[in-house]
Amino acid sequence: MKVLILYTSLTGNTESMAENVAEGVKEAGAEPVLKEVFNTQASDLLNYDGCILGA
């Protein structure tokens, strides 16, 4: 299972939280993929089984 973790971060705090979430996703047995919101197309969402968004 691949889980997309989308985030945007001005100060780095949300990016840090996204990295922590990715660790939890990995521990749960899924494959986390971190991407910044602005570097992602809507069609990219079709390539994942789940999506988590942080802003």
The DSSP element (H or E) to which 3 belongs, if any, is strand 2-7
DSSP string, 25-47: HHHTT-EEEEEEGGG--GGGGGG
In the predicted model, is pLDDT for residue 19 greater than 90? yes
Pick among 3.20.20.220, 3.40.50.280, 3.40.50.12780, 3.40.50.360: CATH of 2-54: 3.40.50.360
Q: What is the pTM of this model?
A: 0.91
Using DSSP's 3-state secondary structure scheme, residue 2 falls into strand
Question: What whole-number distance in Å separates Cα of residue 29 and Cα of residue 50?
Answer: 13
Average pLDDT value over all residues in the chain:
96
Look at residue 55 in the predicted model and tell me its pLDDT: 87
